[in-house]
Structure 1
Amino acid sequence: MEPLELRRAVEAGRATASELGLQVDDVVVIHNSDRVALHLVPCDVLARVAPAGQLADSEFEVEVARRLAAVDAPVAELEPRVAPRVYLRDAFAISLWTYYEGAESEIAPTDYADALLRHHAALRQIDLDAPHFTGRVAAALSEVNDRERSPELPDPDRELLSDTLSELSAAITIEKADDELLHGEPHPGNLLNTRRGPLFVDLATCCRGPVEFDLAHAPEEVAKHYAGADHALLHRCRALNWAMFSAWRWRRDDQMPDRNHWRVAGLNEVRAALDRCGPS
Protein backbone atom coordinates (compact mmCIF):
# COMPACT_ATOMS: atom_id res chain seq x y z
CA MET A 1 0.00 0.00 0.00
CA GLU A 2 1.07 3.56 -0.65
CA PRO A 3 1.95 5.62 2.48
CA LEU A 4 -1.41 7.42 2.76
CA GLU A 5 -3.43 4.23 2.32
CA LEU A 6 -1.10 2.41 4.72
CA ARG A 7 -1.74 5.02 7.43
CA ARG A 8 -5.48 4.60 6.96
CA ALA A 9 -5.13 0.80 7.10
CA VAL A 10 -3.10 0.98 10.31
CA GLU A 11 -5.69 3.24 11.93
CA ALA A 12 -8.54 0.96 10.78
CA GLY A 13 -6.83 -2.07 12.33
CA ARG A 14 -6.05 -0.21 15.56
CA ALA A 15 -9.53 1.26 15.95
CA THR A 16 -11.29 -2.02 15.19
CA ALA A 17 -9.29 -3.94 17.80
CA SER A 18 -9.73 -1.18 20.38
CA GLU A 19 -13.50 -1.11 19.93
CA LEU A 20 -13.55 -4.88 20.49
CA GLY A 21 -11.93 -4.41 23.90
CA LEU A 22 -8.32 -5.21 22.97
CA GLN A 23 -5.64 -2.88 24.30
CA VAL A 24 -3.63 -1.29 21.48
CA ASP A 25 -0.88 1.14 22.47
CA ASP A 26 1.30 0.59 19.43
CA VAL A 27 1.09 -0.91 15.93
CA VAL A 28 4.02 -2.53 14.11
CA VAL A 29 3.74 -3.08 10.34
CA ILE A 30 4.99 -6.62 9.68
CA HIS A 31 4.15 -6.90 5.98
CA ASN A 32 2.94 -4.40 3.40
CA SER A 33 1.65 -5.43 -0.02
CA ASP A 34 -1.87 -5.31 -1.46
CA ARG A 35 -2.92 -5.99 2.13
CA VAL A 36 -1.00 -5.42 5.35
CA ALA A 37 -0.21 -7.47 8.44
CA LEU A 38 -0.02 -5.53 11.70
CA HIS A 39 1.24 -6.57 15.14
CA LEU A 40 -0.96 -4.89 17.73
CA VAL A 41 0.63 -4.45 21.15
CA PRO A 42 0.30 -5.04 24.04
CA CYS A 43 -2.76 -7.18 23.22
CA ASP A 44 -0.44 -9.30 21.02
CA VAL A 45 -2.80 -9.68 18.06
CA LEU A 46 -2.06 -9.93 14.34
CA ALA A 47 -4.42 -7.83 12.23
CA ARG A 48 -4.76 -8.51 8.50
CA VAL A 49 -6.09 -5.40 6.77
CA ALA A 50 -7.16 -5.49 3.12
CA PRO A 51 -9.06 -3.09 0.86
CA ALA A 52 -12.80 -3.70 1.09
CA GLY A 53 -12.68 -4.94 -2.50
CA GLN A 54 -10.96 -8.04 -1.11
CA LEU A 55 -13.76 -8.69 1.38
CA ALA A 56 -14.71 -12.02 -0.22
CA ASP A 57 -11.09 -13.24 -0.02
CA SER A 58 -10.84 -12.19 3.63
CA GLU A 59 -14.10 -13.93 4.50
CA PHE A 60 -12.97 -17.05 2.67
CA GLU A 61 -9.68 -17.08 4.61
CA VAL A 62 -11.50 -16.75 7.94
CA GLU A 63 -13.85 -19.60 7.03
CA VAL A 64 -10.92 -21.84 6.03
CA ALA A 65 -9.15 -21.05 9.31
CA ARG A 66 -12.30 -21.68 11.35
CA ARG A 67 -12.87 -25.10 9.79
CA LEU A 68 -9.24 -26.17 9.98
CA ALA A 69 -8.97 -25.20 13.64
CA ALA A 70 -11.74 -27.72 14.35
CA VAL A 71 -9.61 -30.57 12.93
CA ASP A 72 -6.32 -29.54 14.58
CA ALA A 73 -4.55 -28.47 11.39
CA PRO A 74 -1.08 -26.89 11.66
CA VAL A 75 -2.33 -23.41 10.81
CA ALA A 76 -2.37 -20.00 12.44
CA GLU A 77 -5.51 -19.50 14.51
CA LEU A 78 -7.99 -16.67 14.66
CA GLU A 79 -7.87 -14.41 17.73
CA PRO A 80 -10.00 -16.20 20.35
CA ARG A 81 -11.04 -13.06 22.28
CA VAL A 82 -13.22 -11.74 19.45
CA ALA A 83 -15.81 -13.20 17.08
CA PRO A 84 -14.28 -15.21 14.18
CA ARG A 85 -15.34 -12.87 11.39
CA VAL A 86 -14.21 -10.06 9.09
CA TYR A 87 -14.82 -6.48 10.26
CA LEU A 88 -15.39 -3.55 7.89
CA ARG A 89 -14.05 -0.09 8.70
CA ASP A 90 -13.13 2.91 6.52
CA ALA A 91 -13.19 0.86 3.27
CA PHE A 92 -11.00 -1.90 4.76
CA ALA A 93 -11.69 -5.55 5.61
CA ILE A 94 -10.02 -6.51 8.91
CA SER A 95 -9.50 -9.95 10.41
CA LEU A 96 -7.80 -10.60 13.76
CA TRP A 97 -5.45 -13.51 14.39
CA THR A 98 -3.24 -15.00 17.09
CA TYR A 99 0.23 -13.46 16.97
CA TYR A 100 3.08 -16.00 17.02
CA GLU A 101 6.59 -15.13 18.06
CA GLY A 102 8.81 -16.79 15.47
CA ALA A 103 11.62 -19.15 16.41
CA GLU A 104 15.10 -18.22 15.21
CA SER A 105 16.03 -21.59 13.71
CA GLU A 106 15.05 -22.58 10.18
CA ILE A 107 12.46 -25.30 9.59
CA ALA A 108 14.13 -28.59 8.71
CA PRO A 109 12.94 -30.28 5.47
CA THR A 110 11.60 -33.24 7.47
CA ASP A 111 9.53 -30.94 9.70
CA TYR A 112 8.35 -28.94 6.67
CA ALA A 113 7.18 -32.14 4.93
CA ASP A 114 5.50 -33.39 8.09
CA ALA A 115 3.60 -30.11 8.51
CA LEU A 116 2.44 -30.25 4.89
CA LEU A 117 1.36 -33.89 5.21
CA ARG A 118 -0.63 -33.05 8.36
CA HIS A 119 -2.12 -30.01 6.70
CA HIS A 120 -3.29 -32.04 3.71
CA ALA A 121 -4.72 -34.69 6.04
CA ALA A 122 -6.69 -31.99 7.87
CA LEU A 123 -7.95 -30.51 4.60
CA ARG A 124 -9.35 -33.92 3.66
CA GLN A 125 -11.54 -33.76 6.77
CA ILE A 126 -13.37 -30.57 5.83
CA ASP A 127 -15.96 -29.79 3.17
CA LEU A 128 -15.24 -26.50 1.44
CA ASP A 129 -16.13 -24.95 -1.89
CA ALA A 130 -12.76 -23.79 -3.21
CA PRO A 131 -11.59 -22.75 -6.71
CA HIS A 132 -9.48 -25.04 -8.89
CA PHE A 133 -5.81 -24.20 -9.35
CA THR A 134 -6.40 -23.78 -13.09
CA GLY A 135 -8.31 -20.58 -12.34
CA ARG A 136 -5.11 -19.07 -10.99
CA VAL A 137 -3.23 -20.25 -14.08
CA ALA A 138 -5.86 -18.66 -16.33
CA ALA A 139 -5.45 -15.34 -14.50
CA ALA A 140 -1.67 -15.44 -15.06
CA LEU A 141 -2.16 -16.39 -18.70
CA SER A 142 -4.46 -13.42 -19.26
CA GLU A 143 -1.69 -11.09 -18.01
CA VAL A 144 0.84 -12.65 -20.37
CA ASN A 145 -1.44 -12.56 -23.41
CA ASP A 146 -2.50 -8.93 -22.90
CA ARG A 147 0.28 -6.67 -24.19
CA GLU A 148 -1.25 -3.62 -22.53
CA ARG A 149 -1.03 -5.28 -19.10
CA SER A 150 2.50 -6.64 -19.67
CA PRO A 151 4.00 -4.18 -22.18
CA GLU A 152 7.68 -4.81 -21.32
CA LEU A 153 7.58 -8.60 -21.72
CA PRO A 154 9.75 -9.51 -24.77
CA ASP A 155 7.94 -11.53 -27.43
CA PRO A 156 10.08 -14.69 -27.11
CA ASP A 157 9.54 -14.73 -23.33
CA ARG A 158 5.83 -13.99 -23.79
CA GLU A 159 5.59 -17.06 -26.01
CA LEU A 160 7.55 -19.16 -23.51
CA LEU A 161 5.27 -18.20 -20.62
CA SER A 162 2.07 -18.52 -22.63
CA ASP A 163 2.98 -22.00 -23.89
CA THR A 164 4.18 -23.16 -20.47
CA LEU A 165 1.08 -21.94 -18.63
CA SER A 166 -1.45 -23.35 -21.10
CA GLU A 167 0.27 -26.66 -21.89
CA LEU A 168 1.33 -27.63 -18.38
CA SER A 169 -2.00 -26.66 -16.84
CA ALA A 170 -3.82 -28.90 -19.33
CA ALA A 171 -1.33 -31.75 -18.91
CA ILE A 172 -1.49 -31.69 -15.10
CA THR A 173 -5.29 -31.60 -15.13
CA ILE A 174 -5.48 -34.62 -17.44
CA GLU A 175 -2.78 -36.57 -15.62
CA LYS A 176 -4.11 -36.07 -12.08
CA ALA A 177 -7.87 -36.30 -11.92
CA ASP A 178 -8.13 -36.98 -8.15
CA ASP A 179 -7.95 -33.35 -6.99
CA GLU A 180 -8.20 -32.40 -3.33
CA LEU A 181 -8.16 -29.31 -1.16
CA LEU A 182 -4.75 -27.63 -0.98
CA HIS A 183 -3.16 -24.72 0.83
CA GLY A 184 -2.43 -23.18 -2.57
CA GLU A 185 0.87 -21.43 -1.80
CA PRO A 186 2.70 -23.22 1.05
CA HIS A 187 6.05 -21.58 0.28
CA PRO A 188 8.52 -20.80 3.12
CA GLY A 189 7.11 -17.28 3.52
CA ASN A 190 3.75 -18.82 4.46
CA LEU A 191 5.11 -21.26 7.06
CA LEU A 192 5.89 -19.81 10.48
CA ASN A 193 8.40 -21.48 12.77
CA THR A 194 6.69 -21.07 16.15
CA ARG A 195 7.04 -22.55 19.62
CA ARG A 196 4.03 -24.72 18.69
CA GLY A 197 5.91 -25.98 15.64
CA PRO A 198 5.49 -25.00 11.97
CA LEU A 199 2.17 -23.28 11.23
CA PHE A 200 0.80 -22.29 7.81
CA VAL A 201 -0.60 -18.81 7.21
CA ASP A 202 -2.21 -16.97 4.27
CA LEU A 203 -5.08 -19.43 3.96
CA ALA A 204 -6.97 -17.39 1.33
CA THR A 205 -4.99 -19.23 -1.37
CA CYS A 206 -6.82 -22.51 -0.62
CA CYS A 207 -7.75 -24.25 -3.88
CA ARG A 208 -8.25 -27.68 -5.43
CA GLY A 209 -5.62 -29.66 -7.31
CA PRO A 210 -3.01 -32.41 -6.88
CA VAL A 211 -0.84 -32.37 -3.75
CA GLU A 212 2.17 -31.96 -6.02
CA PHE A 213 0.92 -28.43 -6.86
CA ASP A 214 1.35 -27.54 -3.18
CA LEU A 215 4.60 -29.43 -2.80
CA ALA A 216 6.09 -27.53 -5.75
CA HIS A 217 6.00 -24.34 -3.64
CA ALA A 218 8.23 -25.86 -0.95
CA PRO A 219 12.04 -26.13 -1.12
CA GLU A 220 13.10 -29.07 -3.29
CA GLU A 221 14.57 -30.98 -0.34
CA VAL A 222 11.10 -31.18 1.26
CA ALA A 223 9.74 -33.44 -1.49
CA LYS A 224 12.17 -36.21 -0.51
CA HIS A 225 10.34 -36.52 2.81
CA TYR A 226 6.76 -36.30 1.49
CA ALA A 227 5.52 -39.87 1.13
CA GLY A 228 3.72 -40.81 -2.06
CA ALA A 229 4.65 -37.76 -4.14
CA ASP A 230 4.75 -38.21 -7.92
CA HIS A 231 8.10 -36.62 -8.74
CA ALA A 232 7.53 -36.40 -12.50
CA LEU A 233 4.31 -34.51 -11.84
CA LEU A 234 6.08 -32.43 -9.22
CA HIS A 235 8.61 -31.21 -11.82
CA ARG A 236 5.77 -30.07 -14.07
CA CYS A 237 4.02 -28.32 -11.19
CA ARG A 238 7.23 -26.54 -10.25
CA ALA A 239 7.69 -25.28 -13.82
CA LEU A 240 4.06 -24.14 -13.85
CA ASN A 241 4.48 -22.28 -10.56
CA TRP A 242 7.59 -20.48 -11.80
CA ALA A 243 5.71 -19.51 -14.97
CA MET A 244 2.91 -18.00 -12.86
CA PHE A 245 5.45 -16.20 -10.67
CA SER A 246 7.09 -14.76 -13.79
CA ALA A 247 3.76 -13.71 -15.25
CA TRP A 248 2.99 -11.62 -12.15
CA ARG A 249 6.41 -9.96 -12.25
CA TRP A 250 5.90 -8.73 -15.83
CA ARG A 251 2.61 -7.04 -15.02
CA ARG A 252 2.76 -3.30 -15.61
CA ASP A 253 1.41 -2.64 -12.11
CA ASP A 254 3.46 -5.23 -10.19
CA GLN A 255 4.87 -3.76 -6.97
CA MET A 256 7.24 -6.53 -5.84
CA PRO A 257 10.53 -5.12 -4.49
CA ASP A 258 13.52 -5.66 -6.82
CA ARG A 259 11.09 -6.51 -9.61
CA ASN A 260 13.66 -6.23 -12.42
CA HIS A 261 15.86 -8.84 -10.78
CA TRP A 262 12.95 -11.24 -10.32
CA ARG A 263 11.77 -10.77 -13.90
CA VAL A 264 15.05 -12.20 -15.15
CA ALA A 265 15.46 -14.76 -12.37
CA GLY A 266 11.90 -16.01 -12.80
CA LEU A 267 12.35 -16.71 -16.51
CA ASN A 268 15.61 -18.51 -15.80
CA GLU A 269 13.83 -20.67 -13.23
CA VAL A 270 11.09 -21.49 -15.75
CA ARG A 271 13.67 -22.70 -18.30
CA ALA A 272 15.57 -24.72 -15.68
CA ALA A 273 12.36 -26.32 -14.40
CA LEU A 274 11.27 -27.21 -17.95
CA ASP A 275 14.64 -28.86 -18.55
CA ARG A 276 14.10 -31.05 -15.47
CA CYS A 277 10.70 -32.08 -16.85
CA GLY A 278 12.38 -33.72 -19.82
CA PRO A 279 10.71 -34.20 -23.21
CA SER A 280 6.92 -33.83 -23.22
Structure 2
Amino acid sequence: MIFNVELIEELEKLEPQVRSAFLKILRFIEKTIGEVVKREDFLELKREVEKLTKSVAELAEAQKKSEERLTKLEHTLAELAEAQKRTEQRLNELAEAQKRTEQRLNELAEAQKHTEQRLNELAEAQKKTEEELRQLIGEHKKTREQLGGLTHTVGYILEDRAYKGLPDLLKRDFGLGTIDFIKRDFIEISANRYEEINIFGKGKIDERDKWIIGECKTQLKKTDIDNFLNKVRKIEKVLTGEKILVIVTYQASPSVRNYAKEKGIRIYFSYELPLA
Protein backbone atom coordinates (compact mmCIF):
# COMPACT_ATOMS: atom_id res chain seq x y z
CA MET A 1 0.00 0.00 0.00
CA ILE A 2 1.40 3.41 -1.03
CA PHE A 3 -0.56 5.35 1.63
CA ASN A 4 1.61 6.32 4.57
CA VAL A 5 0.73 8.16 7.75
CA GLU A 6 2.29 11.41 6.62
CA LEU A 7 0.27 11.40 3.42
CA ILE A 8 -2.94 10.63 5.26
CA GLU A 9 -2.30 13.50 7.74
CA GLU A 10 -1.68 15.90 4.90
CA LEU A 11 -4.81 14.75 3.10
CA GLU A 12 -6.84 15.41 6.26
CA LYS A 13 -5.87 19.07 6.07
CA LEU A 14 -7.43 19.51 2.63
CA GLU A 15 -10.95 20.59 1.86
CA PRO A 16 -13.33 17.60 1.63
CA GLN A 17 -13.79 17.88 -2.13
CA VAL A 18 -10.04 18.17 -2.78
CA ARG A 19 -9.29 15.35 -0.37
CA SER A 20 -11.86 13.11 -2.08
CA ALA A 21 -10.31 13.75 -5.48
CA PHE A 22 -6.84 12.92 -4.23
CA LEU A 23 -8.08 9.71 -2.61
CA LYS A 24 -9.66 8.58 -5.89
CA ILE A 25 -6.39 9.23 -7.70
CA LEU A 26 -4.37 7.34 -5.11
CA ARG A 27 -6.75 4.36 -5.16
CA PHE A 28 -6.51 4.27 -8.92
CA ILE A 29 -2.72 4.39 -8.73
CA GLU A 30 -2.67 1.65 -6.11
CA LYS A 31 -4.90 -0.56 -8.24
CA THR A 32 -2.76 0.03 -11.28
CA ILE A 33 0.45 -0.71 -9.39
CA GLY A 34 -0.91 -3.97 -8.13
CA GLU A 35 -1.53 -5.10 -11.68
CA VAL A 36 1.35 -3.95 -13.92
CA VAL A 37 4.11 -2.06 -12.15
CA LYS A 38 7.47 -3.67 -11.56
CA ARG A 39 9.52 -3.02 -8.47
CA GLU A 40 11.69 -0.40 -10.14
CA ASP A 41 8.65 1.35 -11.42
CA PHE A 42 7.10 1.03 -8.02
CA LEU A 43 10.04 2.75 -6.42
CA GLU A 44 9.86 5.51 -9.00
CA LEU A 45 6.15 5.76 -8.44
CA LYS A 46 6.75 5.87 -4.73
CA ARG A 47 9.09 8.81 -5.19
CA GLU A 48 6.46 10.52 -7.26
CA VAL A 49 3.93 9.83 -4.55
CA GLU A 50 6.27 11.35 -2.00
CA LYS A 51 6.62 14.40 -4.22
CA LEU A 52 2.86 14.43 -4.47
CA THR A 53 2.64 14.17 -0.71
CA LYS A 54 4.97 17.13 -0.38
CA SER A 55 2.92 19.07 -2.89
CA VAL A 56 -0.22 18.16 -1.00
CA ALA A 57 1.42 19.39 2.21
CA GLU A 58 2.40 22.62 0.53
CA LEU A 59 -1.07 22.92 -0.88
CA ALA A 60 -2.53 22.32 2.57
CA GLU A 61 -0.27 25.01 4.04
CA ALA A 62 -1.29 27.39 1.29
CA GLN A 63 -4.90 26.45 1.94
CA LYS A 64 -4.38 27.21 5.63
CA LYS A 65 -2.89 30.59 4.86
CA SER A 66 -5.71 31.27 2.44
CA GLU A 67 -8.21 30.41 5.15
CA GLU A 68 -6.40 32.70 7.59
CA ARG A 69 -6.44 35.52 5.05
CA LEU A 70 -10.07 34.74 4.36
CA THR A 71 -10.80 34.86 8.09
CA LYS A 72 -9.04 38.21 8.35
CA LEU A 73 -10.90 39.41 5.30
CA GLU A 74 -14.20 38.27 6.79
CA HIS A 75 -13.30 40.07 10.04
CA THR A 76 -12.38 43.20 8.09
CA LEU A 77 -15.57 42.95 6.08
CA ALA A 78 -17.53 42.56 9.30
CA GLU A 79 -15.87 45.67 10.69
CA LEU A 80 -16.58 47.52 7.46
CA ALA A 81 -20.17 46.33 7.58
CA GLU A 82 -20.45 47.56 11.17
CA ALA A 83 -18.85 50.87 10.20
CA GLN A 84 -21.21 51.10 7.25
CA LYS A 85 -24.10 50.38 9.58
CA ARG A 86 -22.95 53.15 11.93
CA THR A 87 -22.46 55.45 8.95
CA GLU A 88 -25.96 54.76 7.71
CA GLN A 89 -27.30 55.29 11.22
CA ARG A 90 -25.42 58.60 11.42
CA LEU A 91 -26.70 59.55 7.97
CA ASN A 92 -30.23 58.75 9.10
CA GLU A 93 -29.69 60.91 12.18
CA LEU A 94 -28.30 63.71 10.01
CA ALA A 95 -31.21 63.34 7.63
CA GLU A 96 -33.61 63.56 10.56
CA ALA A 97 -31.74 66.58 11.92
CA GLN A 98 -31.84 68.15 8.46
CA LYS A 99 -35.55 67.48 8.33
CA ARG A 100 -36.02 69.17 11.71
CA THR A 101 -33.82 72.05 10.58
CA GLU A 102 -35.87 72.52 7.44
CA GLN A 103 -39.03 72.39 9.50
CA ARG A 104 -37.59 74.99 11.88
CA LEU A 105 -36.53 77.15 8.93
CA ASN A 106 -40.03 76.92 7.53
CA GLU A 107 -41.41 77.94 10.92
CA LEU A 108 -38.95 80.84 11.08
CA ALA A 109 -39.83 81.86 7.54
CA GLU A 110 -43.50 81.84 8.48
CA ALA A 111 -42.74 83.82 11.65
CA GLN A 112 -40.69 86.27 9.57
CA LYS A 113 -43.61 86.61 7.21
CA HIS A 114 -45.92 87.41 10.14
CA THR A 115 -43.31 89.84 11.52
CA GLU A 116 -43.02 91.65 8.20
CA GLN A 117 -46.79 91.81 7.97
CA ARG A 118 -46.94 93.21 11.50
CA LEU A 119 -44.19 95.71 10.66
CA ASN A 120 -46.12 96.82 7.61
CA GLU A 121 -49.21 97.25 9.77
CA LEU A 122 -47.18 99.21 12.34
CA ALA A 123 -45.64 101.33 9.59
CA GLU A 124 -49.10 102.10 8.26
CA ALA A 125 -50.32 102.89 11.78
CA GLN A 126 -47.23 105.06 12.32
CA LYS A 127 -47.97 106.88 9.09
CA LYS A 128 -51.53 107.54 10.24
CA THR A 129 -50.26 108.61 13.67
CA GLU A 130 -47.77 111.03 12.11
CA GLU A 131 -50.51 112.46 9.94
CA GLU A 132 -52.79 112.87 12.95
CA LEU A 133 -49.86 114.38 14.88
CA ARG A 134 -49.24 116.88 12.09
CA GLN A 135 -52.89 117.82 12.21
CA LEU A 136 -52.74 118.16 16.00
CA ILE A 137 -49.59 120.26 15.73
CA GLY A 138 -51.34 122.49 13.23
CA GLU A 139 -54.38 122.77 15.47
CA HIS A 140 -52.14 123.34 18.51
CA LYS A 141 -50.31 126.07 16.65
CA LYS A 142 -53.60 127.72 15.85
CA THR A 143 -54.69 127.33 19.46
CA ARG A 144 -51.44 128.86 20.68
CA GLU A 145 -51.85 131.71 18.27
CA GLN A 146 -55.37 132.22 19.52
CA LEU A 147 -54.23 131.96 23.13
CA GLY A 148 -51.35 134.29 22.36
CA GLY A 149 -53.76 136.75 20.89
CA LEU A 150 -56.05 136.32 23.87
CA THR A 151 -53.10 136.75 26.25
CA HIS A 152 -52.08 139.93 24.48
CA THR A 153 -55.65 141.12 24.65
CA VAL A 154 -55.87 140.38 28.37
CA GLY A 155 -52.47 142.00 28.88
CA TYR A 156 -53.49 145.11 26.99
CA ILE A 157 -56.71 145.32 28.98
CA LEU A 158 -54.68 145.11 32.19
CA GLU A 159 -52.30 147.81 30.93
CA ASP A 160 -55.17 150.09 29.95
CA ARG A 161 -56.69 149.70 33.40
CA ALA A 162 -53.27 150.41 34.94
CA TYR A 163 -52.90 153.69 33.02
CA LYS A 164 -56.21 154.87 34.47
CA GLY A 165 -55.87 153.53 37.99
CA LEU A 166 -52.17 153.91 38.82
CA PRO A 167 -52.01 157.74 39.14
CA ASP A 168 -54.29 157.79 42.18
CA LEU A 169 -52.58 154.74 43.72
CA LEU A 170 -49.09 156.18 43.22
CA LYS A 171 -50.12 159.52 44.70
CA ARG A 172 -51.56 157.71 47.67
CA ASP A 173 -48.66 155.30 48.27
CA PHE A 174 -45.63 157.37 47.20
CA GLY A 175 -46.82 160.91 47.89
CA LEU A 176 -46.50 162.08 44.31
CA GLY A 177 -47.84 165.59 43.91
CA THR A 178 -48.20 165.50 40.18
CA ILE A 179 -47.91 162.88 37.47
CA ASP A 180 -46.89 164.18 34.08
CA PHE A 181 -47.76 161.03 32.10
CA ILE A 182 -48.16 157.25 32.23
CA LYS A 183 -48.06 155.29 28.99
CA ARG A 184 -46.62 152.38 27.02
CA ASP A 185 -43.42 153.31 25.22
CA PHE A 186 -40.00 152.27 23.84
CA ILE A 187 -36.80 153.58 25.42
CA GLU A 188 -33.75 153.89 23.18
CA ILE A 189 -30.85 152.38 25.10
CA SER A 190 -28.31 152.69 22.25
CA ALA A 191 -28.25 153.44 18.56
CA ASN A 192 -31.24 151.68 16.99
CA ARG A 193 -31.75 149.53 20.08
CA TYR A 194 -34.95 149.89 22.04
CA GLU A 195 -36.42 148.43 25.17
CA GLU A 196 -40.20 148.16 25.45
CA ILE A 197 -41.64 149.45 28.71
CA ASN A 198 -45.24 148.51 29.54
CA ILE A 199 -45.67 151.23 32.14
CA PHE A 200 -43.56 154.35 31.63
CA GLY A 201 -44.30 157.58 33.46
CA LYS A 202 -42.96 160.59 35.28
CA GLY A 203 -44.09 162.39 38.42
CA LYS A 204 -42.86 164.79 41.07
CA ILE A 205 -42.46 164.85 44.83
CA ASP A 206 -41.60 168.29 46.14
CA GLU A 207 -40.30 169.28 42.73
CA ARG A 208 -38.09 166.18 42.53
CA ASP A 209 -38.61 164.12 39.39
CA LYS A 210 -39.53 160.50 39.80
CA TRP A 211 -39.45 157.99 36.95
CA ILE A 212 -42.26 155.46 37.00
CA ILE A 213 -41.17 152.11 35.50
CA GLY A 214 -43.52 149.17 35.52
CA GLU A 215 -44.60 145.87 34.00
CA CYS A 216 -47.96 144.14 33.53
CA LYS A 217 -48.22 140.36 33.97
CA THR A 218 -51.39 138.28 34.08
CA GLN A 219 -49.73 135.77 36.46
CA LEU A 220 -46.55 137.01 38.13
CA LYS A 221 -43.57 134.67 38.67
CA LYS A 222 -40.08 135.17 40.07
CA THR A 223 -38.58 134.93 36.59
CA ASP A 224 -40.82 137.83 35.51
CA ILE A 225 -39.39 139.92 38.35
CA ASP A 226 -35.82 139.04 37.37
CA ASN A 227 -36.49 139.90 33.72
CA PHE A 228 -38.06 143.20 34.74
CA LEU A 229 -35.06 144.14 36.90
CA ASN A 230 -32.74 143.27 34.01
CA LYS A 231 -34.74 145.62 31.80
CA VAL A 232 -34.47 148.36 34.44
CA ARG A 233 -30.68 147.95 34.49
CA LYS A 234 -30.54 148.36 30.71
CA ILE A 235 -32.36 151.72 30.79
CA GLU A 236 -30.55 152.95 33.91
CA LYS A 237 -27.93 154.91 31.94
CA VAL A 238 -30.67 156.59 29.89
CA LEU A 239 -33.18 157.33 32.64
CA THR A 240 -31.03 158.62 35.48
CA GLY A 241 -32.55 159.65 38.75
CA GLU A 242 -34.94 158.16 41.31
CA LYS A 243 -37.37 155.50 40.12
CA ILE A 244 -40.58 153.98 41.34
CA LEU A 245 -40.80 150.31 40.31
CA VAL A 246 -44.25 148.74 40.02
CA ILE A 247 -45.79 145.56 38.64
CA VAL A 248 -49.49 145.14 37.91
CA THR A 249 -50.88 141.59 37.89
CA TYR A 250 -53.96 139.47 38.34
CA GLN A 251 -52.33 137.11 40.83
CA ALA A 252 -49.02 136.33 42.57
CA SER A 253 -48.12 133.75 45.20
CA PRO A 254 -46.97 134.85 48.68
CA SER A 255 -43.36 133.87 47.90
CA VAL A 256 -43.42 135.98 44.73
CA ARG A 257 -44.88 138.92 46.66
CA ASN A 258 -42.10 138.70 49.25
CA TYR A 259 -39.48 138.42 46.50
CA ALA A 260 -40.81 141.56 44.82
CA LYS A 261 -40.81 143.41 48.14
CA GLU A 262 -37.18 142.42 48.74
CA LYS A 263 -36.27 143.85 45.33
CA GLY A 264 -38.03 147.16 46.04
CA ILE A 265 -40.94 146.55 43.69
CA ARG A 266 -44.53 147.50 44.56
CA ILE A 267 -47.19 145.05 43.36
CA TYR A 268 -50.67 146.23 42.44
CA PHE A 269 -53.43 143.74 41.78
CA SER A 270 -56.10 144.09 39.12
CA TYR A 271 -58.88 144.34 41.68
CA GLU A 272 -57.29 147.61 42.92
CA LEU A 273 -57.78 149.18 39.51
CA PRO A 274 -61.00 150.57 38.04
CA LEU A 275 -62.70 148.43 35.41
CA ALA A 276 -63.23 151.35 33.05
Q: Where on the TM-score scale, by shorter chain, does this alignment land: which range?
A: under 0.3
Structure with more of its chain in helix, by fraction: 2
Which has more radius of gyration? 2
Please, what TM-score do these two structures have when normalized by structure 1?
0.25
Please, what TM-score do these two structures have when normalized by structure 2?
0.25
Looking at both structures, which has the greater relative contact order when contacts are Cα pairs under 8 Å and sequence separation is at least 6? 1
